[in-house]
Amino acid sequence: LKNFETEEYFAKYDYKAPHFVCVSDCESVNIAELISLGGGSIEDFLKTQLVYPAMLGGEDLRKEISTLYKNVNEKQVLVLGAPIEGIFLTLNAFLRQGDHVVVLSPAYDALFNVAEQVTGNVSRWYLKQNNGSWSLDFDQLEDLLKKNTKLLVFNFPHNPTGFLPTQSEFLKLIELAKKYGTWVLSDEMYRGLEYASDEKLPSACELTDNAIVLSGASKSLGLAGLRLGWLIVKNPELYQKIFQFKNYTSMCATQAGEYLGKMAVRATPKLVERNLKIIESNLKITEQFFKKWSQRFEWIPPKAGSVSVVKLKDIPAEKFCHEIAEKYGVVLLPIRFMGYEDAYFRLGYGRSDFSPGMKALDLALENYFGKVSSIN
């Protein structure tokens, strides 16, 4: 397997650099707050017996998760040891050497790297960028899809660009997959973080039975430390295959996660609403910031989600990001790791300490490039 460059980069600076202005997970809550938001009881949680939980995930938790979707039942929900596990399991259980896979790109490293390791036959389908926004290139997709294309992988709201298709584009994508007899892996980790209620997309599992949907509590709910993730798989044979694979990885999740997971699902609307407010306020800060720095950078605002990218106008991004992290303690994520040209870094808008982080970045840039005297 190719190195997981995004996570290795985070490991290098995690708990060392003070300002992480590029993370994709939203603001967290503590266990007591989560239980209160989910309507549970701390006493009940403390009585949790630490035996093995059910291997598929407890029935109560799977039922609770199924309520987040139309026409999904608990037998179609598989609880994971962590969201990231769902990518490894799906791609290993579903694909064989030589199968053709198309991955919307840039892409969170695992979505591409694991598919490439299993099949050796992955095509990148790039988002098109023009005039400060991203779009889907359906002509390019039709050129890429072949008779042996087994899987089309996408992720909306998109990491790292913050791209979100319209409802009709999303339906067109699903229809194209159907036309070519291709399954879809829909990574919906950022679902719920659409900025307007009429922009919310259906889940891919509500549109086709030939979908594998990945979701979890890390991003939209801000509960990355809970490590709660799940797959929705409507095809019983594939569900079973993925489950068999899981016996070799996490086998099952955690008992504490069973209780807290139910709280997380019940608290979903409140957590999402809170995180959308944080994002909205951080986007205003970012807009002002890049008015000042427009000679050096092009900020491409997100359409949805907690992240988007910034283009460096005249220097490569990766070296710049390392220098800013090492010298000034501000961590920006280079997008080359996700299969894109080395001219972009990612920002993350979901945290409440974003504002001090951006002030530190402003000082760092003044040192790095020299003072910018006025807002241009």
Ligand X SMILES: Cc1ncc(COP(=O)(O)O)c(C=O)c1O
In the complex, which residues of this chain contact ligand X (CB under 6 A)? 24, 82-84, 108, 155, 159, 187, 189, 216, 218, 224, 229
Q: Which is nearer to ligand X, 110 or 365 (CB)?
A: 110
Q: Which is nearer to ligand X, 10 or 180 (CB)?
A: 10
Element (H, E) at 102: strand 100-105
The Cα–Cα gap between 188 and 226 comes to 17
Q: Which is nearer to ligand X, 227 or 293 (CB)?
A: 227
Q: Which is nearer to ligand X, 108 or 259 (CB)?
A: 108
The Cα–Cα gap between 120 and 114 comes to 10
The Cα–Cα gap between 274 and 277 comes to 5
Q: Which is nearer to ligand X, 76 or 218 (CB)?
A: 218
Q: Quick check: 161 and 106 in contact, CB under 8 A? A: yes
Distances (CA, A) of 314 to 117, 133, 296, 317, 358: 34, 20, 7, 9, 21
Task: State the nearest-atom distance from the C-beta of 237 to ligand X, in Å.
Answer: 24
Task: State the nearest-atom distance from the C-beta of 225 to ligand X, in Å.
Answer: 9
| Closest C-alpha to 313, from 296, 334, 301, 293 | 296
Q: Encoding tokens for residue 259?
A: 């209780």
Task: State the nearest-atom distance from the C-beta of 143 to ligand X, in Å.
Answer: 25
Task: State the nearest-atom distance from the C-beta of 256 to ligand X, in Å.
Answer: 16
Given CA atoms 275, 276, 277, 279 in this order, what sign does their dihedral have? positive
Q: Which is nearer to ligand X, 155 or 282 (CB)?
A: 155
39: three-class secondary structure by DSSP: coil
Task: State the nearest-atom distance from the C-beta of 107 to ligand X, in Å.
Answer: 8
Task: State the nearest-atom distance from the C-beta of 291 to ligand X, in Å.
Answer: 28
Given CA atoms 271, 274, 275, 276 in this order, what sign does their dihedral have? positive
